[in-house]
Structure 1
Amino acid sequence: MMRKFSVVIVDDRSLARKRLKRLLHENHPDMDVVAEFENIESAWEKIAVSGVDGVFLDINFEQQGETAGLALARRINLLKAAPWIIFVTGYPEHAVVAHDFRPFGYILKPIDEAKLEKALNKVREPAPIIRPPIRIEVRHKVLRLGENGEVERLFLTRFLVADEILYIQSQNGINAVKVYLVNGEVLDDVSIRLNRWLTDYDLPCFVQVHRSAIVNLKYVGGFKADLEKAESYLLTFKENPIELSVGATFFAAFKEAIRRCS
């Protein structure tokens, strides 16, 4: 069954409204014109109160100002369930500003039917499915002082998403890692080996930069020469003073990966 979109036309020119309505009726039967308006306030009452799927909107209104349509677009975008907007106007000079309102199209009069078709095809595209981020189960060690005054070792379980992790570093001599979080926490003695972070989990912006370290490139600012070691580099983070050594064998892959992730 064809989905119907309830739409309104907002234009102070009667002939412009009639032409657009005819084009929609003849070529785009899924666009149901439920109302048309020649002024901004009447249109706003319908859009804000009754709600529609889309708005075909002129920009220059003779009685209300040459950018009155942009003012209406601003109000529309503030709605919780904002309808999509396609600007239909005779003024190309407003295109840059109009882009701020994320319209599905900016069509100049007289209407080019191919451009109208293109804009409406964008409207018809199904919204992308936004999947929740993968959460990684992490078991880590904590130390606390017991009632008898002795230090007790406990293991707690956390569920982390990738954006919480700054970098991961192996612990010398044991098959465990430390996980350094963006908020400054350090999860100690995590029993997920370093190589498994890249093989067992979908972490596209994580890359190994040293035999003992994996970093989240989202937070990497760049790199600089390591003045204490010849032909060596230090990785720097955007908002963290920590610097990590980049192994020579990992440097080329690191440079390539950082171009792809930000």
Structure 2
Amino acid sequence: MEQTVPLNVVIVDDEAPARERLRDLLSDIAAEQPTRLVGMAGNGIEALRLIENARADVLLVDIRMPAMDGIEFAQHASRLEPHPHIIFVTAYDEYAVQAFDLNAIDYLLKPVRAERLSAALDKVRRVAPVTHEQIDTFAEPRRHLTCSERGKIHLIPISDVVYLKAELKYVTARTGEREYLLEESLVQLEQEFPERFVRIHRNCLVARSAVVGFERSVGEEGGEGHWSVRLNHVPEALPISRRQWAHVRSELGG
């Protein structure tokens, strides 16, 4: 008889008794669903740090947590390769639609029964890998972007981003302190954060709250100049394309 390979599991819950209960349930069902507990975390930020260095096949995730809730954590975790599978474990049923929008394997209500957890882990073993195309639609906007550098995951608060600029296959996220390279689509970011950013050029979005003014350059030999936007925290002015100027003026009052 072929031996079942253990699944690497991470438990994410802000309540220690809930984490311990899930750990005990995993031990109870080990005969039919062998697992290896590789770590536990009290919120989404701690969990992202944990899975930087620990390969996880399955994430057992609570939803209502401080610092970063389970929905946003799942949005970030779903971008990792290889993609860990998400099982939400929560006391509330109103997040089910959001959970399945994120291609969660299952949605377990507390108190979790051993047979339900076993069935959810069995789904993980049977399901096909999730692709990036399946997880591009987000239930609601994230509060952070993620950047992977030298094996570390950097969390970038959306509120700190001054502009987003597409360059080759990456998007540069500029904050007041530095630049980060994101493996994301500018179009997708524009769709996810329409209230936060406005497009000024085919390759650039700026944060509405960062705009401090506009300036117009003088064209050569009296020709028509072009408009640029000035932003908080960055020295350079960013050019606005002629095509986008009417839209920018309408959106930002230029």
Q: TM-score, normalised by structure 1?
A: 0.45
Which protein has greater RCO, CA pairs closer than 8 Å, 6+ apart? 2
Larger Rg: 1
Return the structure number with greater strand share. 1
The two structures have a TM-score, normalised by structure 2, of 0.46
